Structure formats: structure tokens, C-alpha cells
Amino acid sequence: MSRLDREADAFRASMAAAASKLTGTTGTSAMSSAVKRNLAPPSPSPSVGSTTSAAVGTPSRRDRELPGANIVYSQPAVTGTGDSVISQMAYAVTWLRGKDEPQTYHDVLSYLSATGRSDSEQEFFVEQMRRHPQIQWIPDPNLSEQTWKTGTYIHRPTIPNVRNKTQLIAYLQKKTDASGVSVKDLKDGWPDCEPAITELEREHKVLVIRAKKDGAARMVWLDDPSLFHEVEPDLVRAWGRVELPALDVIAQKLIQAGQKPASEDPRLKAEKMPKVEKKKKRAARKGTKSTNTHMEHLLKDYSHMKR
């Protein structure tokens, strides 16, 4: 075999090896691309089946969510009376405020769902109730010795024993000063007191100060119906037709009569007066001792140049 034949055989062998490698790589790449196509995410466009099922009435994903998934947990709903003594005491006061009859300790603990606690915890809570300023403990008159389970409890309002119009008038008459009564304090023991206050106001038995925004009653004073006299409409119209002079004219007439008008502002009078400039007096210089005595031979004397 000649040299040329050997080189031709070697070239054909190398070409065959290259062709086999190329065929294997192409098959592998084709298989990997097929796997990738199988693992690719579904198209966002709806298919025919999905649109058909939606048209029939299949519930959407949002409708299939569990109930309560859209609850905002940063603002939870009030579902109980709490676990601390302070929160439970506040609920107990609010509950007793709405009760007209005294309640036993068991009634209060049942409302707070605390009857399953130990006797020591219940006793501690009852002791705190008896010390609370807005809760009144009524001992059992049939027992000589009282325990933590005896007696009843009732709300102690800010203004006690005022729950109707007659009691309100009696309370205002007993007051020794001219101070009014806050409607907020009245509502602590008489929540629906505003209609009664309005009726008493119409009867001229109380004086009421109301808010400008909503007209709600704020303060109440005692009034005397005998001091109220109805004025005839003709007199009211005649009074409205009287023309009053201007304030400047009234002030001038009072000054001419030798009287000082109440509307005169002393600050305006001070502004009208001419201002006299006060000369500032120069403070006399106090004599001081010279401290640089060791340098007297070096310093010059300027005392003769004083004004």
C-alpha cells in the first residue's frame, strides 16, 4: 500500500469518527430540549377547556379559597374578655353598668367565662372587685360572717341614685354651689338621660349648655320655672324695630355726661398719647483699684482726657 492510500484511509476514519460524535451530540441536545419543553410552565392564555368550564360555572380560584383568608389580622375582632385582671375588670364594670339588679359573683364570673378557674384565682378577682371604685359590694344581710362568695355586686356610678327626672332635680337642688353637672357623668349611671334633659329644658326646670357641632347636651344647671315669663309677640316686634345708635355715638354721649364708656379700651388710649422719649442716663463709673502697679512706670496716664 502506498503512502497516498494510507493517508486516504486515515482521513476516512477520522471523518467517520467525527460523524458519529456529531450524531450523538445532536440526539442528546434534542432529548434535553424535549425535556425542557415538558418542564416549561403552562401558557398564560386560557385553554378551550378552561374557558368552557368557566362558562359552565366552575368556581374560580378566589372562590375556592378557605373562608377567613381575607381577614386582616392586624385588627382582630373582639372575641373574648381577655386574660388579664385589668381587662376582665373593665368588662365586668361595663356589664354591671347595664344591669338594674345586683349580681352575684358567680354571675359576673360566668359572663367572663372564668368559672373554670381555681378557687384561689376566683377569690383574688372577687377581692379586686370589692376594691374597685366603680363596683359596690352589698353584703348578705342574712349572714353574720361574710366570705368571698357571699353578697352581691352593683355598678357604682359617678353620680349615684340619679336615673330619672325627679332624682335629677332633687340632686341639683341639694347642691350647695352654683356649679353645673356634666352630662358625661350623668350617663355613667343613666345612659339614656338626654331625652329627659330635653323635656326638663322645655319645662324651664334646667338650664342646658349644648355643643355647637351636634347640639348634644354638655352641662346642666338648675332653673326656676317661676322666673320665666312669656313676652307678647307685639312687644318683641316693637323691641326689634328700635334702632340703636352707633357705638361711637354712644361713647361720645357718655363722655359728655361725665361717664366712662365700658367699651373704651385703655390700650387704645395709651396709643393715642404722645410718646416722650426718655434720655438714658449714663451710669457713673465706679472707682476701681489699679492692679498693674508693677507696670506703672511703663503705662501712660490718660486721666486728664476724661470728659
Q: Tell me what pLDDT residue 152 has.
A: 95
pLDDT band at 288 (very low <50, low <70, confident <90, very high): low
Spatial contact of 150 and 182, defined as CB atoms under 8 Å apart: no
Q: Tell me what pLDDT residue 55 has.
A: 46
Can you give the pTM of this predicted structure?
A: 0.49
Question: Is residue 239 pLDDT above 60, yes or no?
Answer: yes
Q: Tell me what pLDDT residue 35 has.
A: 43
Over residues 47-96, the pLDDT tens digits come to: 554 444 444 455 555 555 555 555 555 555 555 666 688 899 999 999 99
Residue type for 272, please?
K
Q: Whole-angstrom Cα distance, residue 100 to residue 97?
A: 8
Q: Whole-angstrom Cα distance, residue 63 to residue 66?
A: 8
Q: Whole-angstrom Cα distance, residue 205 to residue 194?
A: 14
Over residues 244-270, the pLDDT tens digits come to: 888 888 888 888 998 888 877 666 666
Over residues 122-151, the pLDDT tens digits come to: 999 999 999 999 999 999 999 999 999 999
